[in-house]
Amino acid sequence: MSPNPRSNAVLALLVAGVLTATGAWAKSSDRNQPMDITSGAQDGNFGDNATTKMWGGVEIKQGTLEIEADQGEIYSKDGQISRAVFTGKQAHMKQINDDGTPIDAVADRIDYDVLNDVVTLTGNYKVTSPKGSNAGQKMVYNTKTGNMQSGGDGTRVHTVIQPKTKAPGATVGSPTPAQPAKPGAK
């Protein structure tokens, strides 16, 4: 399919919709930034009920958001973007949240159901932030509610939760000072 300004604009809007919906994972100002999409090739149709495929190294940059995947597919239903899927060994997404913390996600497949605001990471996924990490074979994340479901399918899930920032002057791992004995105590 030859490049066409209308197709590129629709694709940019689609990807923006995908990324905007990852509310808890997204810096809100990124939505207002230009989107830069490159791939080796793309083929498709931006009609009311259509699919556009990209392959050959898909790279998307918008503000702090970066996505890299071997392939991408964008689906539309009734003229609106309904789903976006990024695949690879591994598809990679990173972004800075509104609070300034980075988030990094990798999976063999990143599938965003735009209509239901649900992101599904499958195939050796790992989501990492300064607060911790979660890894396994499948995670379903509702971007509206923040609810996350992982495991339950016979595979193991590994979660690491980092401790809160230590209090000023406190030393991690230092013993608590001994309290003086009370008079009359044995």
* Token couple for 32: 């207002």
Is 83 within 8 Å of 112 (Cβ atoms)? yes
Say what the pLDDT of residue 169 is: 53
d(CA 66, CA 104): 10
Domain ranges of the chain: 5-161
Q: CA–CA separation, 12 vs 31, rounded Å? A: 11
Please give the average pLDDT of every successive group of 10 residues along the chain, which has 186 residues.
38 38 55 79 86 93 89 88 90 87 93 87 93 93 84 90 69 45 49
Continuous segment of H or E residues that includes residue 52: strand 50-62
- Residue 107 pLDDT: 97
Question: What burial class does residue 26 get, using C-beta atoms within 10 Å of its C-beta: 0-12 exposed, 13-18 middle, 19+ buried?
Answer: buried
Topology at the third CATH level for domain 5-161: lipopolysaccharide transport protein A fold (2.60.450)
* pTM for the whole structure: 0.71
